[in-house]
Chain A
Amino acid sequence: MTITTINELNNAIPVTLFGSKAAFNAAFSNTVSLWAIAGAPGQGVAPTATPSVPNSATLGCFRIPSASGSTKMYLSELSAISTTNNSQTIEIHDRLAHRAGLVGNVTTAQTVGFDLSTLLTTNNLSERMGESNYSDVQWWLEIYADVGTTVSTVTLNVTYNDGTTGNLNTFTIGSTGNRLPARIFSLNFLVPAADSGKYIRGINTMTLSASAGAAGNIGFTATRYRAGIFLEEINTPFSRGWAEIGLPEIYNDSCLFMIAIVSATSVQPLICKATLISG
């Protein structure tokens, strides 16, 4: 059943999701994926070149129970602490779909072939992604292995929710802070003026203006944001309750993992706890 009252919320049986990720090298004030970082949940692996839909059993995500019948699950609380770095944000996303295996050292168009509309019947994706027009989906370029230090402009051709295609505004990889494993680049704000009002449904090709210097390993990830928390100070646990995180529903098969906006080049262990409740 759903949770419809404050008493049901308070009396719901909680399931704790505990995350603790090891230190790693990042770049100041950039967004990073903790998917492939060692710790808890376990270290996820770079996906293959075939787009796939991870689920709650995939290594790298928090293990969540399955809700049966009309039962729904929600995140009711999020806490986190950093012992070394202040001013960073931890977000919980549902990793909807991903692929990797693209390289950073060729300038010909690389086929991405990543279209959510072809994956909707897999692992409850159609429910997990939210709105049917793909407007709840966040798209990312994700680096799994160092692509090199030469600045290269990325042109992505995408398919929108209305079936039309076009290029996003460009961005660069390869510079300091934009080449290391775990670095992710948000793509939604790159929808150009000519395609205003459209939402990205899939990524077709990637073209680099120059070799970044190394093949590395580049991929694309579609996520849906669920909750986040800002850690203002070190050694201080910060918590956000249901009213602050908005009681987001967590669907069956959700592959919950952490994304962080970091504040130092050496990101020390992050500890995060989320509470999942079900009605």
Chain B
Amino acid sequence: MVIANVDQLVNAMGNNASRIIIEKATIANAAASQFHSLWRATGQPGQGAIPTTAAIATNALIGSIQFTQQTAPATSYIGQLEAIVQTAGMSVEIHDRLMHMGGLNATLTTAQTVNLDVAANLATSNLDARKGDANYSDIQWWMEWYTDTGATASNATINVTYNDGTSGNLSVQAVGGTIRASRMIPLNFLIPAADSGKYIRDINTVTLSASTGTAGNFGFTATRYRGGVFCAGAGGRFIQSWSDVGLPEIHNSSCLFPVVIANTTATGIVRGTGKIIHG
């Protein structure tokens, strides 16, 4: 059943919850004030694998935060979240990794197939519920780096399909300048003026204007934000209660993983705990 009142919240918090445990090793070569995925960081949860062709990410993957799956109508929510970081001014976010792909080459200037199509996979792994709104507006889209790419300037033209079925190119995104492994570049803000009001449901292809000089390995990831903690001080344990985090529903099969906004040139050791409560 859903958690519909404070009594049920108290009961779930104290008696029916899965524990979130995060203890991730540092990732070097971070960029201050930029998003970084901890998917590939070692520790707990374990290091996730680099994806290849487009695939749905689920709780079965190493790299995902584990929680007890529920039988409907039982419902799960993040009820509490905490984080400690080594560098002041970092944010630790929990995302549901919906779909991902990798293996793209940063030296090619021909169109590379991405085919990250949420719409075509709604019937699998509870993706329809996990993605949120039917118009795909709850999904955050990212370019994600798995291996460093090169220094030569290059612009990525990303062709997408929108929720209304039309296709078009996002505004170009610069990908030169040696982008490092773990970096995530958000894409939703690149929807051009001509496609205002539309939401991305599928990434079709990516074309680079020039070789960056190093093939590296990058890909695309679709996530849904679930909660986050801002850690104002190093070594401080910052806490979000159920009302702070907003009691986000966590659907079965969710592939929860941490994303950070770094504040220096390394992500530092990231520790986090919390509770996924079950109603």
Partners in one complex: yes
A: residues with CB less than 8 A from B are 2-9, 29, 72, 74, 87-89, 91, 130-131, 135-136, 138, 169, 186, 188-193, 195-199, 225, 228-230, 232, 240-247, 249, 261-263
Contact of A246 among B25, B84, B234, B275 (CB under 8 A): B275
Cβ–Cβ contact B236 & A230, under 8 A: yes
Cβ–Cβ contact B21 & A135, under 8 A: yes
Contact of A29 among B235, B238, B241, B242 (CB under 8 A): B235
Cβ–Cβ contact B269 & A91, under 8 A: no
Contact of A87 among B17, B25, B46, B233 (CB under 8 A): B233
Against A, the Cβ 8 Å flags (1 = close, 0 = not) of B223-246 are 000000000011111111111000
B: residues with CB less than 8 A from A are 6-7, 10-11, 13-15, 17, 19, 21, 23-25, 42-48, 62-63, 66, 79-80, 82, 84, 86, 233-243, 269, 271, 273-275
* Among A7, A136, A198, A225: residue with most chain B CB under 10 A: A225
List the A side residues contacting B10 at CB < 8 Å.
Answer: 3-6, 8-9, 242, 247
CB-CB nearest in chain B for A188: B23
List the A side residues contacting B84 at CB < 8 Å.
Answer: 89, 261
Give the docked Cα–Cα distance between A242 and B79 (Å).
11
CB-CB nearest in chain B for A277: B14
Cβ–Cβ contact B11 & A5, under 8 A: yes
List the A side residues contacting B269 at CB < 8 Å.
Answer: 186, 189
Cβ–Cβ contact A87 & B236, under 8 A: yes
Give the docked Cα–Cα distance between A262 and B80 (Å).
24
Q: How many A-B residue pairs have CB under 8 A?
A: 133
Seed contacts A6-B6, A228-B237, A242-B13; 11 additional CB < 8 Å A-B pairs: A2-B11, A4-B7, A72-B14, A87-B233, A136-B21, A189-B42, A193-B46, A196-B46, A246-B79, A261-B84, A262-B235
**Least distance between A169 CB and chain B CB atoms (Å):** 7
Cβ–Cβ contact A169 & B235, under 8 A: no
Q: State the majority secondary structure of interface residues on B.
A: mixed
**Least distance between B186 CB and chain A CB atoms (Å):** 26
Give the docked Cα–Cα distance between A138 and B22 (Å).
11
**Least distance between A211 CB and chain B CB atoms (Å):** 27
Give the docked Cα–Cα distance between A138 and B272 (Å).
12
Contact of B43 among A2, A29, A190, A242 (CB under 8 A): A190
Cβ–Cβ contact A261 & B235, under 8 A: yes
**Least distance between B207 CB and chain A CB atoms (Å):** 32
Cβ–Cβ contact B233 & A232, under 8 A: yes
* Shortest beta-carbon contacts, A-B, top 5: A196-B46, A189-B43, A197-B62, A246-B80, A230-B236
List the B side residues contacting A263 at CB < 8 Å.
Answer: 235
Cβ–Cβ contact A169 & B6, under 8 A: no
Cβ–Cβ contact A6 & B7, under 8 A: yes
**Least distance between B1 CB and chain A CB atoms (Å):** 14
**Least distance between B263 CB and chain A CB atoms (Å):** 15
Contact of B241 among A89, A228, A229, A243 (CB under 8 A): A243
**Least distance between B123 CB and chain A CB atoms (Å):** 27
List the A side residues contacting B23 at CB < 8 Å.
Answer: 138, 186, 188-189
List the B side residues contacting A198 at CB < 8 Å.
Answer: 46
**Least distance between B81 CB and chain A CB atoms (Å):** 9
List the A side residues contacting B63 at CB < 8 Å.
Answer: 196-197
Cβ–Cβ contact A196 & B235, under 8 A: no
List the B side residues contacting A89 at CB < 8 Å.
Answer: 84, 235-237
With contact pairs A169-B42, A230-B236, A263-B235 given, residues A2 and B15 touching in the complex (Cβ less than 8 Å): yes
**Least distance between B102 CB and chain A CB atoms (Å):** 16
Give the docked Cα–Cα distance between A188 and B24 (Å).
8
Give the docked Cα–Cα distance between A230 and B242 (Å).
18
**Least distance between A185 CB and chain B CB atoms (Å):** 11
List the B side residues contacting A243 at CB < 8 Å.
Answer: 13, 80, 241-243
Cβ–Cβ contact A230 & B42, under 8 A: no
List 24 contacting pairs A-B, 8 Å CB cutoff, sorted by A.
A4-B7, A5-B7, A6-B6, A91-B237, A135-B66, A138-B23, A186-B23, A189-B23, A189-B24, A189-B25, A189-B42, A189-B43, A190-B42, A192-B42, A193-B46, A197-B46, A229-B237, A230-B236, A243-B241, A244-B241, A247-B10, A261-B236, A261-B237, A262-B235
Cβ–Cβ contact A196 & B62, under 8 A: yes
